[in-house]
Structure 1
């Protein structure tokens, strides 16, 4: 398949890239592709881990058997010594380091073909912003490393999340200006970022920041590009040639499709899944919702199990499924929420009803208030994006409580104190900064609630 061209330029080893790389088109291209390669080479933050651990931490995933590494997420009892947390932190910063190296190397690089330089630089800005988005939403304030000087990077204190968000916006605006709508090198496969991917992520970030007009504008630009379409056949949504996919990451290992498929789909088609969807989520799915196609139901030993089935393949050659990072349905949801906050309910409901129509559900016709619309949007996001890139976990942390008794109370405390009354504390909304990182960098401080 043409996706194999992703590695044509070579896959650099995990080492410091020398300045000579940025004197050659082929080597500069290989350096950028090396970031994608590192992200997808094995199970990692952007290859299954965020979907898995955020799903367990939220109210959407459970396990059928106990596993020591998953249990702290399932009970929201993480500690700073947790090795999975450390792995996510260090690997995401390694992606950022590679992006920083590319940005430094390509800035002012006069020997690289200008159009290629712009493309690679734009992709590096995009991938750096994507990395910081997940770090901030998992850990809160994080060090903002923008260079490759090791001595400086290991002594940076935590930077306010608002400042990190400022940098994400700056990076994505740069990416938007440098990239084009053309899909880089691989016209059939959306496995590298282009301008529309930058705008899609920018729309999400504006939404998270409460910048409603900007969020609506960026979402509209992606929607009205007409490059992407909602798949009317829900079975097609998560395939490699999905018309809904804005950006996909391609697994490097030849025998595998996606980490999610490997985790959620048993090799035995009649086998009991390791991960199942929570009862609270299942009860929220309306009768007749065609998205049940994204749920695998099997009876084993007289017990019924419902597990994620968006990706339907555990293994196959050639690949038929890629890891979808951004898709069009999210842009409709983003615009619906932004328009709701701008008191444009009619247009907001029009967007939301497009998602419902695709799911075979009737239009929402009785909503007349902003609070009703926001509740409906939360419902659609919950069902549309379950077990997918931590959407539910992040939504719970940013949305206001439905029955708030204190100013600023968030939905996450309302939901998780009900789901896990014995273990939930408000501090668990942020994961702990890894203790090893604090030892390595004394300028770091710990999140509240962790020793």
Structure 2
């Protein structure tokens, strides 16, 4: 799929008129794609699906911008100020800043393309049921994925599930409950339509299991624990954790789309980077490594990792995951290309020390595994590193959480222990078999922090657990404030969501700004 999404893009044709004859001007091009004949060719629909993924994996969403703005908001990252680039991730942004605009626009662009596929691909156009459903099911999954991020980033958003209505362009915002209901409905359609697996050039496309996992995650966020348990439990045994020695392969270009990967976004390494949207061939350009590289390697100066995460790994004796997640001065630590940490990261260590923070840096998705500093370039190029959006370990921890919140704590133990066992940690079944619900809740919070650090889950977790203010507010339970480099402070009642872009409100007076952003 990494190659096919790049190659098969929808392109608008330009027509050159060579004569003014009425006969020529009245000619109909029967080979062109139009509303009338869209959905009558499998290859055509595959290209349309790739076109629907394009805004999601392009630069202005997962390829870069959502990391720079939204995902770096968590308490894992102490972000160095870098002008407007870091305004959102440090809680200093406002509706005039760009970092909420592009994700909004790209997600709705993807939704519009999904709506076209869902509406126009019919039995008449593609008679074979399995083929048709494997195509349309991807559109249902992707539309749910798009709305999942819209509702978690922006809250109440326009809910559009059909083709554009020229008489109703100024749409109203739907409340979050309605958006969640649509997400569930779309994922149930995707579950029933998509295959259990793909092969060949289609490897990496969304599967029935991916739809089930996102549905279970959605139910967990909605606090519908019984429904979450049903969905997530159905995935147990359908995937497997990589061995401990291969844990780092979950974040590298090695062994992509592996047995632990439930859903990952596909990216290609290319030596010429194009900054733009809907440019043919640019839809798989991931440049997010800029946001996870250490300060002297990142053009945007990046961040340091806050010491609470290092302390958590060390308190648990978690060497396996720490070594693939963080780079600091532990025994055997390395930087780019396997070079000794203190040698390769000397400049970064100086930057951190000069700023008065501990020199702790991200390894996941930083490109350290791809070569030496000289070999790994982030300017004018990009690296082909798939992003694992949902891993099986995440499924197991979400299942444990749902069981615990459903007052089935003893049943939750086996699933958190499956994750701990891979990390060579003591098992709760052996050390605390009668663990209380409250203690299990804390154990899951800590386990998610260690297992999923730097993968884009932490901020959303803190918000849904109602802990964001405790850890990132004016007074942080961490002690040192996790955004001390910028001075930004999380405000409850405001920063759970990002702002609705001013440009969208100007264009549509029916849109209301999120709380706290009108001042």
The alignment's TM-score, normalised by the length of structure 2, stands at 0.76
The equivalent residue for 1:404 is none
Looking at CA atoms only, which structure, 1 or 2, has the larger radius of gyration?
2
The match for 2:3 is 4
Show the counterpart of 2:109.
Answer: 94
Report matched runs for 1:185-334 at 5 Å: 185-186=200-201, 189=203, 191-225=204-238, 227-232=239-244, 233-240=246-253, 241=255, 242-255=258-271, 258-265=286-293, 274-287=302-315, 288-289=317-318, 290-292=320-322, 293-297=324-328, 298-300=345-347, 302=350, 303=353, 305-311=359-365, 312=367, 313=370, 314=376, 321-334=385-398
CA contact (8 A) 1:145 1:153 kept: no
Instruction: Label 1:114 to 1:381 Cα distance change in 2 as closer, same or farther (>3 A).
Output: same
Give the superposition deviation at 1:184.
5.8
Find the counterpart in structure 2 of residue 413 from structure 1: 469
Q: Pick closer, same or farther for the CA change 1:432–1:180 going to 2, 3 Å.
A: same
**Contact persistence 1:333–1:381 (CA under 8 A):** yes
- Structure-1 separation of matches of 2:182 and 2:298: 48
Q: Does the Cα contact within 8 Å between 1:22 and 1:112 map onto a contact in 2?
A: no
Using the alignment, how far apart are the partners of 2:129 and 2:435 within structure 1? 52
Give distance in 2, aligned partners of 1:440 and 1:325: 32
Q: Distance in 2 between matches of 1:168 and 1:436?
A: 26
Aligned to 1:181: 196
Structure 1 residue 82 displacement after superposition: 1.4
Query: What displacement does 1:395 show?
Result: 0.8
Does the 8 A contact of 1:25 with 1:113 survive in 2? Answer: no
- Structure 1 stretch 260-269 or stretch 283-292: which is displaced more? 260-269
How far did residue 48 of structure 1 move? 3.7
Superposed CA RMSD in Å reads: 3.0
- The 10-residue stretch of structure 1 (215-224 or 253-262) with the greater mean CA deviation from structure 2: 253-262
Q: CA deviation at 1:219?
A: 1.4
1:429 alignment partner, SS class:
coil
Q: What stretches of structure 1 of length at least 5 have no aligned partner?
A: 400-409
Shift of 1:272: 11
Q: Is the 8 A contact 1:239 1:320 kept in 2?
A: no
SS at match of 2:39: helix
Q: List per-residue Cα deviations over 1:149-205 (Å, max 9, x = no partner).
A: 153663111101011000000000000011120216536x4x210101111111100
Is 1:124 matched with 2:139? yes
Offset from partner CA, 1:307-365 (integer Å, 9 cap, x none): 22123335699976312121111100110001101222222122112212222222233
Q: CA 1:133–1:440 in structure 2 vs 1: closer, same or farther (change >3 Å)?
A: same
- Matches of 1:320 and 1:140 in 2, distance apart? 32
Partner of residue 402, structure 1: none
Q: Please report how far the alpha carbon of residue 374 of structure 1 lies from its aligned counterpart in structure 2 after TM superposition.
A: 0.9
Kept in 2: contact 1:23–1:112 (CA 8 A): no
Per-residue CA distance 1:120-155 (angstroms, 9 max, x = gap) = 110000000001011111111111011221536631
Q: Give the match for residue 146 of structure 1.
A: 161
SS at match of 2:399: helix
Q: Does 343-352 or 135-144 show the bigger shift?
A: 343-352
CA pair 85-14 structure 1, distance change in 2 beyond 3 A: farther
| 1:51–1:352 CA distance, 2 compared to 1 (3 A) | farther
Quote how far apart the aligned CAs of 1:44 are: 2.5
* Preserved contact between residue 32 and residue 120 of structure 1 (Cα < 8 Å): yes
For residues 249 and 136 of structure 1, the distance between their equivalents in structure 2, rounded to whole angstroms, comes to: 20
Cα contact 1:204–1:215 (8 A) shared by 2: yes
Tell me if structure 1 keeps the 8 A contact 2:78–2:306. yes
Q: Is the 2:304–2:359 Cα contact (8 Å) retained in structure 1?
A: yes
Number of aligned residues: 433
Paired with 2:462 and 2:398, the residues of 1 have a C-alpha distance of 15
Question: Which ranges of structure 2 fall in alignment gaps of 5 or more residues?
Answer: 14-32, 274-284, 329-344, 371-375
**CA positional deviation for 1:105:** 1.3
Residue 420 of structure 2 aligns with which residue? 356
Q: Aligned pair 1:59/2:91, yes or no?
A: no
Counterpart check, 1:35 vs 2:52: yes
Q: Which segment drifts farther, 306-315 or 364-373?
A: 306-315
Question: 3-state DSSP class of the match of 2:87?
Answer: helix
Matches of 1:109 and 1:81 in 2, distance apart?
Answer: 47
